[in-house]
């Protein structure tokens, strides 16, 4: 099977700290691959090395079968950087045509495709407006279009959904899924586990520049599984807290308030917990036996502080300095 | 789709740079301001030739020999003045002063016996223009010479016959040939060219810088360098901005030509005879001079733009860029401040040195050439030095640019810059 991206033990150091440490990963053709990790884990640095924007200090990156680097293949790769930007004073259509031309697409083809994409993402009426007139979400969609306008076989997206409202986020996720359906390969980074869980065929979780786990979603869940129960309350929680605290039944708890994710203690029976909850007077909206969520696995792997930072500290500011990653 | 076409990409960058700048308001403001200014100069000159130059003056005669009357006569004969005699009295100076303040009189001349004896007189006016003073002095000195000779018994007719004005027909020996021209004109041409070069290099060089900075601050740079080499990007920018400046010159040149050819009709519309308005003479610029001018403009523009591009790449906001551009601007200012010295004595050691230093040669060499004091071999030496400097500076600038465009945060110091260049 063809492997568009092969990263082999790459290391990148910045002014005294190691952003990426002997990281290896392989993305095979026609899948959606998620690179997951908290802020500062080295996701952006890894993607930049894949794109040949940074040179690795050690190790090699093979892109589309060669070590020639991203720029050589720019016609076959679409890259959406984490640092978003467009020319604010240019018209939307002109920006798209220009960026496609920079990747070697002819002017007329670029124009036709840009109009088609603007129409598809509901921006047709904005094509002659200045970029600065667009909302942030719209700009992000324009940027996404610029990433795929030259119909690349490999798309690399750095935090593509951050800063988007739920509607636009869904539109882009649908587009990504559609892209894979057409036989293309997608590699994207995120720290939002729900997105990764919905989209990815394979994932790789990294923290502090090191790989913690990789594999298909099923494999990762199996490896780090255990039996899990999702509980959602319908109003009254009764004495649920007492049941959750019982170490004979519950090994680990993620309490979200109205919802909770439990990992069963070894030998415990889920039915026992259900009975105990009902007896305690809790009103249940949901009680489900399942494999653990990616979020749970993520938190277990990278540690709760890092995960909390990842869940809340997303928008804006990070990664601006090249010495961070 | 598979193969990449570098030329196509550079072309796309040049076009974007050109189209976006030409679309901007500022381009058209300056494109229109040029011709408007030029039209203003033409109209001003026509209005001046319409007798605005004739000054009403009064002559107060406090002499005992009645020289005032002859002064009035001489002034009226000169066409530049309409003079009246004011008899000396107690309050005459005050009342004339009131007339000057009421703008009914341009000024008044007070003559005493001193005029003939020691050559002294007094002129009072609200506006002491150079031309008026010179015309007064010229007229008075001719008159005084005449009066003094008469006092020694010389026949006035002989005096008139003896006074003759010399007109010097000036021809300039210029690179092997002889052309019509005069000192003022070649000085002005050289001066004008130098200013134009300085302005164009500074304005459009700074344009390159702000364009680099825009891509850096909006962060679009990361997408660009993932598809285009930084060096291609820098070249495209410089060529694009250069094309814009040529387009600007072209608009100015064409509109100046059109306005000049319309001089006659404009003059008639303002009620002057076209023959009166031949004051604006376009200096004859030989093709060789034009070629030298264009070559050194291109070279200078490229040299400085590469430096400005590097400055833009190493800064992360406008303020930083303003500071970091100072060394580059100072290099350019040295040429600017030397323009007067260059045009006054284009063959001095100072001028020769400036035309051999890469950073001053873009302005110094065209000036020396226009002034006609530069041998061909010196011109060629300057050109070679400039070409070598462009290669060297572009190489260094491209390396700074390559690293700088992806950097944010604090501006690099000299040591770090050296590391970027060596990397």
**Residue A4 has what DSSP assignment?**
S
**Stated length of chain B:** 423
Rounded-to-integer distance, Cα B14 and Cα B10, Å: 6
pLDDT number for residue A315: 35
Which of A92, A101, A147 to probe by mutation at the B interface, max B CB count within 10 Å?
A: A101
For residues A118 and A144, membership in a common domain is answered with yes
Q: Which of B227, B317, B404, B423 to mutate to test the interface with A (most CBs of A within 10 A)?
A: B227
Tell whether A193 and A230 lie within a shared domain. Answer: no
**Lowest-confidence pick of A303-307, A314-318, B299-303, B351-355:** A314-318
Annotated domain spans of chain B:
6-45+181-422, 53-162
pLDDT at A131: 92
Residue B294 has pLDDT above 70, yes or no: yes
pLDDT computed for residue A305 by the predictor: 59
Structure tokens given for B289: 């001079």
Average pLDDT over residues B52-73: 83
Domain identity same for A211 and A234 = no
- Closest residue of chain B to A80, computed from CA coordinates: B223
Indicate which of A102, A114, A157 best probes the interface with B, i.e. most B CBs within 10 Å of its own CB: A102
Q: What is the pLDDT of residues A85-106, one digit of tens each?
A: 889 889 999 999 999 999 889 9
Q: How close, in Å, is residue A311 to chain B by CA atoms?
A: 25
pLDDT-based confidence at residue A314 (cuts at 50, 70, 90): very low
Does the beta-carbon distance from B223 to A71 stay under 8 Å?
no
Q: How far apart are CA A283 and CA B400, in angstroms?
A: 66
Q: Higher pLDDT residue, B38 or B286?
A: B38
Percentage of chain B beyond pLDDT 90 is 14
- Look at residue A128 in the predicted model and tell me its pLDDT: 94
Residues A192 and A53 in one domain: yes
Q: Look at the block and give the residue holding tokens 């990433």.
A: A147
Which residues of chain A are within 8 Å of residue B13 when distances are taken between CB atoms? 102
Cα B330 from Cα B219, distance rounded (Å): 29
Q: For residues B47 and B272, give the distance between their C-alpha atoms in angstroms, rounded to a whole number.
A: 8
Check if the beta carbon of residue B396 is closer than 8 Å to that of residue B203.
no
Report, as an integer, the average pLDDT of B277-286: 58
Judging contacts by C-beta atoms under 8 Å, the chain B residues touching residue A322 are 406-409
- Same-domain status, A201 and A282: no
Cβ distance A83 to B4 less than 8 Å, yes or no, reads no
Tokens, residue B161: 């016959």
CB A32, CB A188: distance < 8 Å: yes
Q: Indicate whether A257 belongs to any domain.
A: yes
Q: Which carries the bigger pLDDT value, residue B397 or residue A267?
A: B397
List of chain B residues whose C-beta atoms are within 8 Å of the C-beta of residue A99: 223-224, 227
**What is the distance between the alpha carbons of residues A266 and A247, in angstroms, rounded to a whole number?**
10
More confident residue, B52 or A145: A145
Q: What is the pLDDT of residue A308?
A: 52
Q: What strands, in cross-sheet order, belong to the sheet with B107-111?
A: B81-87, B55-61, B107-111, B122-125
| CATH number where A196 lies | 3.40.50.300
- Place B49 in a pLDDT band, splitting at 50, 70 and 90: low
**Contact between B307 and B393 (Cβ < 8 Å):** yes
CB contact under 8 Å between A79 and B229, yes or no, is no
Is residue A165 a part of any domain in this protein?
A: yes
pLDDT of residue B270: 72
Q: How far is A61 from chain B (nearest CA, A)?
A: 15
- Please give the pLDDT value at position B53: 61
Average pLDDT over residues B301-327: 90
User: pLDDT at position B55, please?
Assistant: 81
CA distance A117 to A108: 14
Q: Are residues A205 and A283 in the same domain?
A: no
User: Could B409 and A101 be called an inter-chain contact, meaning their C-beta atoms sit closer than 8 Å?
Assistant: no
Classify residue A102: in a domain, yes or no. yes
Which of A199, A217, A235 is at the close of a domain? A217
- Please report residues of B whose CB lies closer than 8 A to that of A86: 218, 220
Tokens of B258: 């059109």
DSSP secondary structure code for residue B52 in this structure: I
A46 CA: distance to closest CA in chain B (Å)? 14
Alpha helices in B102-229 (DSSP H): 114-117, 130-151, 156-162, 183-217, 221-225
A78 and A176 co-located in one domain: yes
Q: Which of A179, A200, A217 is the last residue of a domain?
A: A217
**Nearest in space to A82 (alpha carbons), one of A232, A233, A189:** A189
What is the pTM for the complete model shown? 0.73
Residues of A (69-108) whose Cβ lies below 8 Å from B: 70-72, 74-77, 79-81, 83-90, 94, 98-99, 101-105
Interface check for B30 against chain A (CB to CB < 8 A): the answer is no
**CA gap B333, A92 in Å, rounded:** 40
Find all residues with CB under 8 Å of A105, minimum gap 6, and list them.
A75, A113, A149, A150, B1
Q: Which domain holds residue A237?
A: 226-290
Which range is least confidently modeled, A160-174, A245-259, A307-321, B126-140? Answer: A307-321
- The pLDDT of residue B152: 87
Query: How much is the pLDDT for A115?
Result: 95
Query: Do residue A179 and residue A243 come from a single domain?
Result: no
pLDDT digits (tens, 9 = 90+) for A156-214: 999 998 878 888 888 889 999 999 999 999 999 998 888 888 899 999 999 888 998 89
Which of A217, A239, A259 is the last residue in one of the domains?
A217
Measured between beta carbons, which residues in chain B are less than 8 angstroms from residue A89? 20, 24
Residues 148-187 of A with CB under 8 A from B: 150-151
Segment A49-70 shows an average pLDDT of 85
Q: What residues form DSSP beta bridges with B107?
A: B57, B125
Residue B37 tokens, joined: 């200014």
Measured in Å, how far apart are chain A's first and last C-alpha atoms? 31
Report how far Cα A299 is from the mean position of its chain's Cα atoms.
Answer: 15
> In this complex, do A79 and B406 lie within 8 Å of one another by their Cβ atoms?
no
Sort out which chain B residues have CB atoms less than 8 A from A80's CB and list them: 223
- Domain assignment present for residue A200? The answer is yes
Segment (H or E) for A325: none
**Alpha carbon distance A219, A202 (integer Å):** 9
In whole numbers, what is the pLDDT of chain A averaged over residues?
85
pLDDT greater than 60 at residue B275: no
Average pLDDT over residues B305-313: 91
Residue A299 lies in a domain: no
Residues A17 and A152 in one domain: yes
Q: For position B179, what pLDDT does the model report?
A: 60
ipTM over 0.90: no
| Inter-chain CB proximity A53 and B226 less than 8 Å | yes
Please tell me what DSSP assigns to residue A191: S
**Closest in B24, B218, B227 to A74, CB measured:** B227
Whether B333 has its CB under 8 Å from any CB of chain A: the answer is no
The total domain count for chain A is 2
Residue B371: pLDDT over 80: no
- Give the pLDDT mean for B340-358: 85
Instruction: Pick the closest to residue B220 from A93, A191, A90 (CA basis).
Output: A90
- For residue B2, pLDDT over 50 is answered with no
Q: Token match 């007229």: residue?
A: B139
pLDDT score for A225: 65
Q: Are A316 and A82 in contact (CB under 8 A)?
A: no
Distance in Å, alpha carbon of B255 to nearest chain A alpha carbon: 29
Residue recorded with tokens 């694009």: B240
Six-digit token string for B417: 């810059």
Residue A320 has pLDDT above 50, yes or no: no
Helix %, strand %, coil % for chain B, to 5?
70, 5, 25
For residue B110, give the 3-state DSSP assignment: strand
Contacts of residue A88 in chain B, CB cutoff 8 Å?
A: 218
Average pLDDT over residues B20-41: 88
What confidence category does residue B245 fall into, taking pLDDT thresholds of 50, 70 and 90?
Answer: confident
What CATH number does domain B53-162 carry, 3.40.190.10, 1.10.10.10, 3.40.50.300, 3.40.50.1820? 3.40.190.10
Q: Do A195 and A233 lie in a common domain?
A: no
What is the distance between the terminal CA atoms of chain B, rounded to a whole angstrom? 33
In this prediction, residues B233-244 reach a mean pLDDT of: 91
Q: Please compute, for residue A4, the number of CA atoms within 13 A of its CA located in the half-sphere on the CB side.
A: 24
- Closest residue in chain A to residue B217, using alpha carbons only: A85
Q: Which residues of B touch A105 (CB under 8 A)?
A: 1
pLDDT given at position A316: 34
> Are A246 and A204 contained in the same domain?
no
Place of tokens 């291109």: B298
CB contact under 8 A, A53 and B222: yes
- 8 A C-beta contact, residue B71 and residue B140: yes
Distance of alpha carbon B331 from alpha carbon A81, whole angstroms: 38
Work out the minimum CA distance from A186 to partner chain B, whole angstroms. Answer: 17
Which residues on neighbouring strands pair with residue B173, listed in sequence order?
Answer: B178
Looking at the fold, whether A74 and A100 belong to one and the same domain comes out as yes
Which residue in chain B has the smallest CA separation from A132?
B218
CATH of the domain at A257: 3.30.70.100
**Does residue B421 or residue B149 have the better pLDDT?**
B149
pLDDT in tens, A11-59: 998 877 889 999 999 999 999 999 998 888 899 999 989 988 888 999 9
The helix/strand/coil state of B125 is: strand
Tens digits of residue pLDDT in B161-181: 887 877 777 676 666 666 656
Per residue in B186-200, pLDDT tens?
Answer: 677 778 878 888 888
Mean pLDDT score of chain B, rounded to an integer?
A: 83
| Beta partners for residue B110, in sequence order | B60, B122
**What pLDDT score does B422 carry?**
77
């Amino acid at each position: 099977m063809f492997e568009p991206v092969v990263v082999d033990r790459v290391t990148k150091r910045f002014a005294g700290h190691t952003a990426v440490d002997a990281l290896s990963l392989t993305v095979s053709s026609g899948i959606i691959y998620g690179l997951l990790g908290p802020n500062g884990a080295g996701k952006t640095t890894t993607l930049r090395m894949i794109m040949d924007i940074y040179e690795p200090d050690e190790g090699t990156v093979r892109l589309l079968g060669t070590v020639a680097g991203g720029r050589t293949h720019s016609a076959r790769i679409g890259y959406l950087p984490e640092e978003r930007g467009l020319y604010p004073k240019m018209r939307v259509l002109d920006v798209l045509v220009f960026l496609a031309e920079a990747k070697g697409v002819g002017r007329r083809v670029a124009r036709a495709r840009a109009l088609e994409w603007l129409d598809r993402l509901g921006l047709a009426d904005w094509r002659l407006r200045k970029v600065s007139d667009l909302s942030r979400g719209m700009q992000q969609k324009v940027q996404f279009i610029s990433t795929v306008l030259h119909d690349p076989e490999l798309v690399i997206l750095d935090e593509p959904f951050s800063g988007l409202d739920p509607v636009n986020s869904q539109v882009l996720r649908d587009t990504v899924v559609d892209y894979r359906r057409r036989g293309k390969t997608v590699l994207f980074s995120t720290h939002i586990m729900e997105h990764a869980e919905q989209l990815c065929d394979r994932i790789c979780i990294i923290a502090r520049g090191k790989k913690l786990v990789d594999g298909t979603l099923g494999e990762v869940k199996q490896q780090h599984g255990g039996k899990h129960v999702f509980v959602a309350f319908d109003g009254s929680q009764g004495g649920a807290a007492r049941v959750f605290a019982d170490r004979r039944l519950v090994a680990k708890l993620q309490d979200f308030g109205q919802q909770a994710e439990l990992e069963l203690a070894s030998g415990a029976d889920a039915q026992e917990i259900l009975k105990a909850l009902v007896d305690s007077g809790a009103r249940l909206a949901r009680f489900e036996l399942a494999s653990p969520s990616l979020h749970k696995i993520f938190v277990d792997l990278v540690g709760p502080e890092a995960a909390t930072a990842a869940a809340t500290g997303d928008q804006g500011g990070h990664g601006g300095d090249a010495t961070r990653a | 789709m598979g193969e990449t076409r570098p030329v196509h990409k550079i072309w796309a960058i040049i076009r974007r740079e050109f189209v976006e700048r030409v679309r901007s308001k500022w381009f058209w403001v300056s494109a229109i301001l040029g011709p408007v200014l030029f039209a203003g100069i033409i109209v001003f000159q026509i209005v001046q030739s319409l007798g605005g130059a004739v000054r009403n003056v009064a002559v107060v005669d406090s002499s005992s020999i009645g020289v005032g009357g002859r002064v009035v006569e001489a002034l009226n004969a000169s066409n530049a003045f309409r003079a009246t005699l004011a008899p000396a009295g107690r309050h005459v100076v005050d009342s004339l002063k009131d007339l000057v303040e009421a703008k009914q009189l341009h000024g008044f001349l007070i003559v005493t016996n001193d005029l003939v004896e020691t050559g002294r007189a007094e002129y009072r006016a609200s506006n002491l223009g150079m031309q008026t003073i010179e015309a007064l002095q010229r007229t008075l000195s001719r008159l005084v010479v005449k009066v003094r000779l008469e006092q020694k018994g010389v026949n006035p007719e002989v005096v008139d016959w003896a006074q003759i004005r010399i007109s010097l027909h000036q021809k300039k020996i210029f690179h092997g040939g002889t052309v019509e021209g005069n000192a003022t004109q070649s000085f002005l041409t050289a001066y004008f060219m130098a200013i134009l070069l300085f302005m164009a290099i500074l304005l459009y060089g700074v344009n390159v810088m702000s364009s680099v900075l825009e891509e850096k601050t909006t962060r679009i740079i990361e997408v660009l360098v993932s598809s285009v080499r930084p060096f291609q990007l820098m070249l495209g920018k410089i060529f694009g901005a250069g094309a814009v400046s040529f387009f600007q010159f072209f608009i100015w040149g064409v509109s100046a030509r059109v306005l000049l050819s319309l001089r006659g009709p404009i003059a008639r519309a303002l009620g002057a005879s076209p023959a009166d308005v031949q004051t604006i003479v376009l200096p004859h610029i030989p093709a060789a001079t034009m070629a030298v001018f264009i070559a050194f403009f291109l070279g200078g523009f490229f040299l400085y733009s590469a430096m400005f591009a590097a400055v833009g790449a190493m800064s992360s906001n406008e303020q930083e860029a303003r500071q970091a551009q100072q060394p580059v601007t100072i290099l350019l200012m040295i040429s600017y401040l030397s323009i007067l010295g260059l045009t006054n004595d284009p063959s001095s050691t100072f001028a020769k040195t400036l035309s051999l230093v890469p950073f001053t040669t873009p302005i110094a060499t065209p000036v020396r050439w226009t002034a006609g004091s530069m041998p061909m071999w010196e011109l060629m030496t300057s050109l070679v030095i400039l070409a070598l400097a462009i290669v060297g500076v572009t190489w260094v600038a491209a390396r700074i640019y390559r690293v700088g465009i992806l950097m944010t945060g604090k501006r690099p110091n000299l040591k770090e810059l050296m590391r970027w260049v060596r990397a």
